[in-house]
Structure 1
Amino acid sequence: MKAVKRIDETTDLSELVCDQGLLRAWCWRSGEIEFGPAVPEGAMALGAGKPETFYAGIEAGARRALDGETLLLPGVPEAVSEKSAQLAVVGWLAWRSGDRVRATQIAAERLALQQAGGAPC
């Protein structure tokens, strides 16, 4: 399966979309976001959509790594535990969908978890 970290005008999308013509996005525990036709085992799914608009939406909500190229999902690289990383993903998805109340609740839960050293309550 082919996967890429960045998409631009030179990217051949035919290798990156699934049979339904959708581009999928996921992130790793490191926070690095990748795109391709299927979410690999061990990755955290971020969603799927038409490549023409989906990539831009993910890119707009991501942040850049120090290399200036790699897209990172905010909060995941800094997470002190797997649970905290998962909450960062869920909170980001809630924020992206416009559910600011749920995103704020998740952020508060994640903050408490981080302050407790990452151990589940």
Structure 2
Amino acid sequence: MDRSPQRRELHDPELLARYRTATDAVGRMVPSLPFIDAVPVDGGLRARLTTARAALDVGEDMVTLSAASTAYEFAREAEAVLRPPVDGRTMDLAALADTASLALEDVVGLVLQELVAGQAAVVGSLL
């Protein structure tokens, strides 16, 4: 019986969990063209995350989104903006703002711009 390190690795019960973690760290490299430098305040644009298994940790004063190998910290009010994309939904920016009862400018400037810059989210009209 072959007991090489590679073969033993295949029987490691944590192998799939480590694989998922490694692939989630990369995300889907989808550039948010043409909105790489700045996401316009346009309620008709749509947003989605670039990783399938993002995690949202809601604390008393802040919410942390773990996606594309980065942890993003936001004010507690951002949970309503982040929850639909974390749940796998693609939504219009206007709908995200309405859901969160926030101004569209705040949703774009305080949340989405940071996620797009970090390649954790993509924004576009054809999503």
Q: TM-score range by the shorter chain?
A: under 0.3
Larger Rg: 2
Structure with bigger RCO (C-alpha 8 Å, 6+ apart): 2
Please report the TM-score for the alignment, with normalisation by the length of structure 2.
0.26
More strand by share: 2
